[in-house]
Amino acid sequence: MRRTVLGFVVLSLCVVALSFITLVSGPVDVSMGGLLESPIFWDLRLPRVAAALLAGVALSVSGLSFQTVFQNPLAGPFVLGISSGASFAVALSMLAGLGFGRFGTLGAAAVGSLAATALVLGISARFRNNTVLLVAGLLIGYFIDACISLLITWSDAESLRVYVSWGMGSFGRLTSDGIWIFALAVAAGLVLIGASVRYLNGARLGDDFARGLGIRVSLYKKLVLLGASVLAAAVTAFCGPVAFLGIAVPHLAYLLFRSSNHRVLLPGSALCGATLALLAGLLPEYPLNAVLSLVGVPVILWVLVRSTRRGGL
């Protein structure tokens, strides 16, 4: 209990401190006094902080949900082909010139990831074996990547450049108008998942066990997968395909909080994810995916090694 409270307090302080640092630092020097009047603050720095916070929270919660539902520590929006689905739809709109009208990139990403989720769900209803599902998800991912590479060969240099830079991920692409749409999409995903805590806590032991606890498994499984896909889609649309956070952060949360209760793990993962995303966002001049992996992998390996030495794993 004390560990949990301490963890929440320390991580919240990290999030606040890193947000502050991101807001006051940047290539252009803005004096502290004039900060709030400066357009740089409202149009560049605030959206950047919002993007990092929302993406960190969304990817971690999405990854945790997928891992729990599929009872597999490797599950995540990337492994299940859901991020690929989003990428494919975005590639269609950027490379093949298929407009998605006023829905734009977000709409495309949402449609793509939901289609991939529907496919994954369909497969999971047919095969109750979760390993089959992961293999199927990987295969779907490869198939979609192949389709994207075809689109790449057929596209002109300019749209290709746009797509490739989108593919590296960035917190700098969010505009101040986009913040609200991103925040709403993330809130919707979080509500769907938050309403299913009782299911998530039983789900780690299998569908039959959860049903024995009086949980309507098929309903809540759909709610959680829908929520987790919306989260992954929103991040893909606004920040590009951001790898790594979804799969790694839940493990960091298990180790820090030493709990399997989603009442602790969901907020815990969200805070860990926001912290790591803000840390990676401190270096905006480098590709986000590269920085995330360069910053994140050592942190998580260090935690893993430390806890193994203590016999924690």
Partner 1 sequence: MLLNLRQVTFGYRSPLASPLDMEVQAGQVVALVGENGSGKSTLLKTLGGMLLPLDGSLELEGRPLAEYGLRELSKKVALVRMGLAAPAEMTVREFVSLGRSPYAGFLDGRSREDEGIIDSAMDDMDVTLFASRKVAELSDGERSRVYLARALAQQVRLLLLDEPDAFMDIPRRKNLFVTLQKLSREKDMTVVLSTHWVDYAEKYADSILAFTSKGMLEFAPASRARELGLLSWAEV
In the complex, the smallest distance separating the C-beta of residue 132 from partner 1, rounded to whole angstroms, is 18
Distance CA 313, CA 108 (A): 41
Least distance to partner 1, CB of residue 133, Å: 17
Per CB under 8 A, does 54 bind partner 1?
Answer: no
The minimum distance between CB 307 and partner 1, in angstroms, equals 11
251-270: contacts with partner 1 (CB under 8 A):
254, 258-263
Q: Does residue 216 touch partner 1 according to CB under 8 A?
A: yes
Span from 37-45, 140-148, 189-197, 276-284 in contact with partner 1 (CB under 8 A): 189-197
Q: Of 108-116, 205-213, 236-244, 277-285, which part binds partner 1 (CB under 8 A)?
A: 205-213
CA 180 from chain centre, in angstroms, equals: 17
Q: How many other C-beta atoms lie within 10 A of the C-beta of residue 138?
A: 16
Q: Which residues contact 275 (CB under 8 A, 6 or more apart)?
A: 11, 14, 15, 18, 56
Which of 208, 285, 309, 310 is in the footprint of partner 1 by CB under 8 A? 208
Considering the complex, state which of residue 74 and residue 168 has its C-beta at the smaller distance from partner 1: 74
Shortest reach from residue 136's CB to partner 1, in Å: 22
If binding is defined by CB under 8 A, does position 162 make contact with partner 1? no
- Told to check if 247 binds partner 1 by CB under 8 A, we report no
DSSP string, the chain: -HHHHHHHHHHHHHHHHHHHHHHH-SSS---TTTGGG-HHIIIIIHHHHHHHHHHHHHHHHHHHHHHHHTT-TT-STTTTTHHHHHHHHHHHHHTS----GGGHHHHHHHHHHHHHHHHHHHHHHH---HHHHHHHHHHHHHHHHHHHHHHHHHS-HHHHHHHHHHHT--SS---TTHHHHHHHHHHHHHHHHHTTHHHHHHHTT-HHHHHHTT--HHHHHHHHHHHHHHHHHHHHHHH----SHHHHHHHHHHHHH----HHHHHHHHHHHHHHHHHHHHT-TTS-HHHHHHHHHHHHHHHHHHHHHHTT--
**At closest approach, how far in Å is the CB of 212 from partner 1?**
6
Binding segment (CB under 8 A) for partner 1, from list 79-87, 98-106, 119-127, 209-217: 209-217
Using rule CB under 8 A, residue 195 touches partner 1: yes
Nearer to partner 1 by C-beta: 205 or 297?
A: 205
As a whole number of angstroms, the distance between CA 305 and CA 267 comes to 24
User: According to CB under 8 A, which residues from 57 to 96 bind partner 1?
Assistant: 71
Q: Is residue 10 within the footprint of partner 1 (CB under 8 A)? A: no
Any contact of residue 198 with partner 1 (CB under 8 A)?
yes
Site for partner 1 in 284-313 (CB under 8 A): 313
Nearer to partner 1, 222 or 263 (CB): 263
In the complex, minimum distance from the CB of residue 200 to partner 1, in angstroms, rounded to a whole number: 8
* Window of 49-57, 105-113, 204-212, 270-278 that interacts with partner 1 by CB under 8 A: 204-212
Judged by CB under 8 A, the residue of 100, 206, 299, 304 near partner 1 is 206
Residues that bind partner 1 (rule: CB under 8 A) add up to a total of: 26
Residue of 138, 164, 140, 137 lying closest to 151 (CA atoms): 164
Positions that interact with partner 1 (CB under 8 A): 71, 194-195, 197-198, 201-202, 204-206, 208-209, 211-216, 254, 258-263, 313
